[in-house]
Structure 1
Amino acid sequence: MPMVHDEQDRHKGFTRRVLMLTCGKAALLSALVARMYYLQVVEAEKYKTLAEDNRINLRLLPPRRGKILDRFGQELANNQQNFRVVVVREQTPDLVATLDALSKLIHLSEHDYKRILRDVKRKRAFVPVTVKDNLSWNQVSSIEVNAADLPGASIEVGETRFYPYGADFSHILGYVSSVSEKELTGDPLLELPGFRIGKSGIEKYHDNDMRGQAGTSEFEVNAYGRVIRELARNEGGSGREMILTVDAGLQTFVQQRLMSEQSAASVVIDIKNGDVLAMGSVPSYDPSAFNLGLSNKQWNSLINNPLTPLTNKAIAGTYAPGSTFKMIVALAAMKEGIGATSHTAFCPGFMKLGNARFHCWKRGGHGRVNMIEGLQHSCDVYFYDVARRIGVDKIAEMANKFGLGARVDIDLPGERSGVMPTKAWKLANIGEPWQGGETLITSIGQGFVLTTPLQLAVMVARIASGGKKVIPRITRGYREDGKAVAYGQSEFEDLGIPQEHMRMVHQGMDAVSNNPRGTAYKYRIRKEGWELAGKTGTAQVRRITMAERQAGIFKNEDLPWRRRDHGLFVAYAPVDNPRYACAVVVEHGGGSKSAAPVARDILRETQRRDPARTAAISFDTVDGVKNTSGDS
């Protein structure tokens, strides 16, 4: 009996093992069948693509750069289709041979060879390198026909930046160009062939906003790396469209008006909200040339031009303000108790200080004048007198309130601060104590004083507003995903200047332009309700010797261009209800007679267009604090 039981137990154990083994095999077979079904049916298309020595590559796609619009929605910068040929190092057995073959179809200079080989070395082997941009359709066709003889080379369709207004907006918009080696940050987007970034102006200031988000392209290539077909594409996200404060029509007018001079700059500001309606600088340049690629000859002609066309003179040109500075001295004097009408000074044509003589621009003098008459006639001796009484530090304190001596922080790169000297400034920067005669020279906007045209426009905007701290801006907002968003602008703070003092300065500037004895009466606006109030300015670029003064040989027209005085004019309009402020600087223009008619024409055109009161773009939301633009 025990033997029978042992045999039965062995049989049962064997049966269980067979069953377990059978179940295990069935499970494994089921898993194998399921996996084979998944690979051969569900993923059939994918593995079919991977078969026969093919593989799938993933490539970044450059996003569409955001447009730049004026306040009415006019396109100032947009994108146009661009064909380019690129080469991938890992896909060609002999890069130089491929370039040589390409050079028989398109022109490749020695500079192109050096640039391509340099880019190939600093980029990863699978990253395409641009060989040539902006190809014609005939060039594209010839490259495609000869594709078999051009391993590693292929045609790509991209976009290139286009500026419809050309040189009229170059200093505001700036330009885009290829990414330099020092600008690489590790972001793969910057290594894409043909990718451009902003190098100056709005293009640089808002570069990150306008770049957008990169897309991806998934495509099939064969064993030789040649693209077979695109499998999937994600276009990414376009960059923001930036909406500027400028009026394209007014900007074009300003730029063309300035071109009557060799070198000049102008700024027009809406004093209610700080909107820069126009900002001109001549000579200018074509921003598209940088995008397309400058030749060495073109680049050298720009950087060696003595008139500095690449410089935005409106924000980076620094000039002695001349007599346009006298309103600041007048306000500083009134703050120290010197009355605009009660205090007078006698002008015989000069003032003596120690052994030195400080001359008035009018050789015979102006006789006895008060402050308003001093502004009307631009009498230097009157301002020598009040400056001597209050000192340079009081003048500098007032100048700082009105935006002089420091950057006003406009939303453009490259702004310079200028100089507003004080006793401490001279000691720290020059190592010498301040001299009394330097106070006199400062009072007429000469000596160490340096300002930009933008600062002068801000100064007159703050005067015209009755003493509000007007802050200029050139960007109104942006558009993204169909929604227009305005940048908020807070209410301008009060500078704390008594309104009676402001009225005295207003009267003086009004007399300059609208009193027959004013220095700019000849350049007034005659249309009723459009009248301007202004101030002339002449900034010497050399010292007139006593011998020249006695001989009378110091007229600007008798001098070479570079030795002539700069001409300046600042103004606001209309007189009775100020809305627009303008500053004009004409380099070596021979005095204010060159700048005053330009400013008059600009303010007349500004009022004719009236760009500040209406705007075609309506904003959906306001980003930040209260919007004061009045048209959003």
Structure 2
Amino acid sequence: MMLIYVCIIYIMMLGVFGKLVYIMVVKGEYYSQKALDVQERERRIKAARGKILDRNNNVIASNKTVCTVSVIHRQIRDTDAVIKMLCEELDLEEKEVRKKVEKVSVREKIKSNVDKEIGDKIRSYDFDGVKVDEDYKRYYPYSSMASKVLGFTGADNQGIVGLEVKYDKYLQGRDGLILTPTDSRGIELDTALEERVEPVPGYNLVTGIDINIQKYCEQIAYNALGAKQANYVSVIVMNPRNGEIMAMVNAPEFDLNNPYSLTEEFSNDTSGKSKQDLLNNMWRNQCINDTYEPGSTFKIVTATAALSENLVSLDSTFNCPGFVVVDDRRIRCHKTTGHGSQDFVHGTMNSCNPVFVNVGLRVGVKKFYNYMDKLGLLKTTGIDLPGEAGTIIHKQKNVGNVELATMSFGQSFQITPVQFLTAASAIVNGGNLVTPHFGVEIRNENNETVKKLKYNEKKNVISKDVSEKMKYILEKVVAEGTGNKAQVEGYRIGGKTATSQKLPRSARKYIASFMAFAPANDPQVIAMIIVDEPQGVYYGGTVVGPLMKQLYENILPYVVK
């Protein structure tokens, strides 16, 4: 009997020993961490988000020090005094504050994104149980400048739209930690025993944006917006040689420091849309998110295709009686009395629809689509912004003579402004299809280059000879043709105007646009201005020509070397 008891005790001891081995060896790390969790309170230290800089190292997105105010219930000695102070300093309702202060929890957040001055004042009260941690809030020193390009961040400092989200992995730093020892009741002990893991700030993004050019563009856009009572005005300024974008404006812009506050245009909206839908529209970048019929600016693509295939020459002659009949469709020229006999150069200078219908039909559907593809117009550009829209176009097999005729002068399909400007760049830069972009390089906090950003480029999508011919023709358009209002004394400028009618045609609403580059013989800058639904006179050359002149008068002395 005694032997049985001894065996039972021995087995129980083995079981206890085995359990101890399991706890100490197998689960040792787990229970050690559990002990630390009881003995230490962990608080995050947010890392400073990297800055966004313009091409001249001007800061266009930075950080502002703010505070997060929280309470630890078990440490509070004078509940009413704490509630009263927090209500007064943070401008909060007593009911809301009391609920949080009296809640039995490890730590309860009262308010985040508190101005540092207020946070310092709350800290100076030295109330037990009230904690003030410094934090960062994204700050945009130029408020609404390039708002639809830069984008903004959320409460957690993560990018939501624009460059902020596109380059989030570089801009975001690595958060640090404060490990504060506590007793068994969870009350923090001497802060001198705290352990800190310091945060690592994010990298800085250097862009091709030039704030001086951006400001000129915004001034021009807002003046036109008011004068023509337009829906919006968009401006893009780009280096056609490498695709670096120097400015992009979509007026009206919005306040980046208050991105959830509707601007006047949207706060007065009576369509019944939800606030979120209105915000989405307010944040929308028309240059890349919206498509439009390019109208006569697109004639440069038709001309490029025809010249490349030797289907026309500069002195090829055409006759314009004011219209052209294709199958059973009568397509009129903007000059209803006709241009009469003219060569190809003058047909382009006059933006004559019958000339380009004739040329488009010569090119044919297959080659027309082939050149659209070569010039990047059948796919997105790959610009470093989210949400780029794609081309809306007929399937090639469904294109007949009438469809091809209207496409030849920029109707019955839709592209984005940035797609068109990229194609135009290839036509005038010697035939290289570049990728439009803002990001140039990534730098660390010591201003040392970490990474140079690279983008795709397709060489020789058209020949240099055709490019030279197109530059010659487009310089004539500005010197003597429909783009003559964009001339700037002392500079050679090439370009093309457009007046495109929006759908439905019966509404008689228009988009006036102008693409121009300079110097015409060796382009260093290319720009696009679009005015959506100008009131009164709506012709591209008349409405946008003077705007392009103002833009280039301001920036050419600054840009052209």
Change (3 A) 1:294 1:361: closer
Partner in structure 2 of residue 161 of structure 1: 138
Residue matched to 2:431:
467
Contact preservation (8 Å) 1:360, 1:381: yes
Match of 1:62, as an amino acid?
Answer: K
Letter in 1 for 2:328: N
Paired residue total: 504
Is the Cα contact below 8 Å between 1:174 and 1:201 reproduced in 2? yes
1-structure distance, mates of 2:458, 2:168: 31
SS in 2 for 1:267: strand
Distance in 1 of aligned mates of 2:457 and 2:545: 29
1:229 to 191, 203, 206: 191
Please report how far the alpha carbon of residue 574 of structure 1 lies from its aligned counterpart in structure 2 after TM superposition.
Answer: 0.7
With over 3 angstroms needed to count, the CA separation of the structure-2 counterparts of 1:70 and 1:394, relative to structure 1, is same
The 2-side partners of 1:298 and 1:92 are apart by 48
Report if the CA contact (8 A) 1:83-1:135 is conserved.
yes
Residues 510 and 532 in structure 1, CA contact (< 8 A), matched pair in contact too: yes
Map of 1:599 onto structure 2 = 548
Which residue number corresponds to residue 113 of structure 2? 133
Pairwise CA distance, 1:355:
3.1
1:276 has 2:245 as partner: yes
Q: Which amino acid aligns with 1:332?
A: A
8 Å CA contact 1:399, 1:420 repeated in 2: no
The structural deviation recorded for 1:141 is: 3.0
Question: Aligned in 2, Cα 1:78/1:218: closer, same or farther, shift over 3 Å?
Answer: same
The alpha carbon displacement at 1:598 in A equals: 2.2
Establish whether residue 247 from structure 1 lines up as the match of residue 210 from structure 2.
Answer: yes
Residue equivalent to 1:626: none
> CA 1:97/1:596 → structure 2, altered by over 3 Å: closer, same or farther?
farther
**1:210-254 per-position Cα deviation (integer Å, ceiling 9, x unaligned):** 111121213345646357525232322111011111111111211
Please identify, of 393-402 and 357-366, the stretch whose mean Cα deviation from structure 2 is larger: 393-402
Preserved CA contact (<8 Å) 1:68 1:243: yes
The corresponding residue for 2:361 is 388
Task: Say if 2:292 and 2:414, in contact at 8 Å, map to a contact too.
Answer: yes
Change (3 A) 1:130 1:461: farther
8 Å CA contact 2:204–2:445 kept in 1: the answer is: no
Per-residue CA distance 1:524-568 (angstroms, 9 max, x = gap): 112x2x2210000111014556xxxxxxxxxxxxxxxx8531011
Match of 1:379 among 352, 356, 359: 352
Instruction: Please tell me whether the aligned partners of residues 429 and 467 of structure 2 are also in contact (alpha carbons under 8 angstroms).
Output: no
Asked if the contact 1:406/1:418 (under 8 Å) is kept, the reply is: yes
Alignment map for 1:319-338 (pairs within 5 Å): 319-338=292-311
Mapped to 2, the partners of 1:78 and 1:89 lie a distance apart of 35
Post-superposition offset of 1:82 = 0.8
* CA RMSD of superposed structures (Å): 3.6
Note closer, same or farther for the CA distance 1:379–1:415 as it changes in structure 2 (3 Å cut).
same
Offset of residue 73 of structure 1: 0.7
Q: Name 1:287's counterpart in structure 2.
A: 256
Question: How many angstroms apart in 1 are the aligned matches of 2:510 and 2:74?
Answer: 62
- Aligned partner of 2:496: which letter? K
CA 1:298–1:198: 2 relative to 1, 3 Å? farther
**Equivalent residue for 1:219, pick from 180, 187, 196:** 180
Distance 1:535 1:327 in 2: 8
Q: Aligned match of 1:506 in 471, 490, 500?
A: 471
5+ long unaligned stretches in structure 2: 1-34, 269-274
**Structure 1 unmatched ranges of 5 or more:** 1-49, 179-194, 425-432, 546-561, 614-632
Aligned-residue offset at 1:586: 1.1
Q: Paired residue for 2:50?
A: 66
Q: Distance in 2 between matches of 1:298 and 1:176?
A: 23
Q: Please give the residue correspondences for 1:501-580 in structure 2 after superposition, counting only pairs within 5 Å.
A: 501-515=466-480, 518-526=481-489, 528=490, 530-542=491-503, 563-580=508-525
Q: Is the CA contact 2:49–2:202 (under 8 Å) kept in the aligned structure 1? A: yes
Q: Specify which of 445, 460, 464 is matched with residue 410 of structure 2.
A: 445
Task: Give the direction of change, closer, same or farther, for the CA distance of 1:226–1:294 in structure 2 (3 Å limit).
Answer: farther
Letter in 2 for 1:591: Y
Matches within 5 A, 1:473-492: 473-480=437-444, 482=446, 483-487=448-452, 489=454, 492=457
How far apart are the structure 2 equivalents of 1:109 and 1:167?
32
Deviation at 1:101, TM superposition (A): 8.1
> Cα distance, 1:127 vs. partner?
6.7
**Preserved contact between residue 406 and residue 419 of structure 1 (Cα < 8 Å):** no
Residue 492 of structure 1 and its aligned partner are, at CA, apart by 4.0
Aligned match of 1:555: none
Alignment of 1:296-335 (within 5 A): 308-335=281-308
Measured against aligned partners, the alpha-carbon deviations of 1:326-356 in whole angstroms (never above 9, x if no partner) come to: 0111122233431223533211111122332
Contact residue 430 and residue 460 of structure 2 kept, 8 A:
no
- Return the TM-score normalized by structure 2: 0.80
User: 3-state SS of the aligned residue for 2:145?
Assistant: helix
8 Å CA contact 1:376–1:511 kept in 2: the answer is yes
User: How far apart are residue 126 of structure 1 and its match?
Assistant: 4.9
Question: Shift in Å at residue 138 of structure 1?
Answer: 4.8
1:375 shift after superposition: 1.1
CA distance in 1, matches of 2:352, 2:418: 25
User: What secondary structure is seen at the aligned counterpart in 1 of 2:432?
Assistant: coil
Is the 1:57–1:218 contact (alpha carbons within 8 Å) kept by the matching residues of 2?
Answer: yes
Give a deviation string over 1:51-107, Cα, whole Å, max 9, x none.
xxx9442322111111111111111111121123235689899x9999898446533
1-structure distance, mates of 2:119, 2:554: 47
Measure the CA separation in 1 of the matches of 2:95 and 2:521: 61
Secondary structure of residue in 2 paired with 1:416: coil
Change beyond 3 A, Cα 1:300–1:232: farther
Could you list the per-position Cα deviations for residues 430-481 of structure 1 after superposition, in whole angstroms to 9, with x for gaps in the alignment?
Answer: xxx434222111111111x212221122122111202112222211101125
Aligned partner letter, 1:161: R
Query: Distance between the aligned counterparts of 1:374 and 1:297, measured in 2?
Result: 44
Equivalent residue in structure 1 for 2:150, among 170, 173, 180: 173
Q: Is 78-87 or 271-280 further displaced after alignment?
A: 78-87
Q: Once the 2 structures are TM-superposed, how far is the Cα of residue 308 of structure 1 from its aligned partner?
A: 3.6
Moved more, 102-111 or 409-418: 102-111
Contact 2:40 2:179 in 1 (8 A): yes
2:125 to 133, 145, 151: 145
Distance 2:191 2:122 in 1: 20
- Paired letter, 2:46: P
Distance 1:68 1:435, change over 3 A: same
2:219, 2:262 → 1: CA distance? 27
Shift of 1:397: 1.7
Between the aligned partners of 2:330 and 2:419, the Cα distance in structure 1 is: 31
Distance in 1 of aligned mates of 2:95 and 2:237: 43
Q: Kindly indicate whether the alpha-carbon contact (under 8 Å) linking 1:460 and 1:571 is maintained by their aligned counterparts in 2.
A: no
SS of the aligned residue for 1:503 comes to: helix
Kept after mapping to 2: 8 A contact 1:174/1:198 = yes
- Identity percentage of aligned residues: 24
2:222 is aligned to 259
1:344/1:382 contact within 8 Å kept? no
* 2:422 aligned residue: 458
- Which sits farther off after the overlay, 225-234 or 71-80? 225-234
Please tell me whether Structure 1 or Structure 2 has the larger radius of gyration of its CA atoms.
1
Residue 168 of structure 1 aligns to a residue whose secondary structure is coil
SS of corresponding position for 2:154: strand
